[in-house]
Structure 1
Amino acid sequence: MADLALITVPIDTGIADVAAQAVAAAAGGDTALVGPHRFLYVANGDASSHTVTVATPGTVKGLAISDATLTVAAGDHGILPLANVFRGANGRAAITYDDVTSVTVAPFELET
């Protein structure tokens, strides 16, 4: 899995070209830092929809918490929060894709 570098969104200027910040999704999955004000941007340039899954490693009273999924339509964009519930043992979220053809991603953090 590739470790995605967190991109800070400046409060005074923002980011005009979000898509330009994105990198190709890794076939073996990616990881990203989790926490408040953080989210994963997904761009799908393929002709088919693609599903992104973020593992939820925790449990509640011994019961597994369902993983979060986001299906991004062909040619569309989506965002998925990177909340603390997705924190793995390494402190990062584990992100996988049903396919990475023409899929780019970027983790962002809103400056506070």
Structure 2
Amino acid sequence: MIKSELVARVAARNPSLNHREAERIVATIFDEIVAALARGDRVELRGFGAFSVKRRPSRVGRNPRTGDAVAVSQKSVPYFKTGKELRERLNATQSGVQAAPPMESAATGSSD
């Protein structure tokens, strides 16, 4: 799904919004997520997942063509970790397989 498809679905599910308003809502949400990550904050959407920033330290890399050592500077990269509900829904829909029931902890399990 691309951004314009998301905007169209938001507008279709909310008849009181016109296309321009739905587009502004989607853009505002994305802008706020980007701004929070730029500040170094974590963005958590319950049931969906969490966005955070991971820092990669500087290191010495290799030029694949020449094999020469190249200094790679420190960088920050966005990271997304899926939420439990999203993971369960994705695994339940693969090949029409039903989601497995949650595993029991060792403390409540029976002894054989």
Same fold (TM over 0.5): no
Larger strand share, 1 or 2: 1
Q: Which has the higher contact order (CA 8 A, sep 6+)?
A: 1
| Shorter-chain TM-score tier | under 0.3
Q: TM-score, normalised by structure 1?
A: 0.25
Larger helix share, 1 or 2: 2
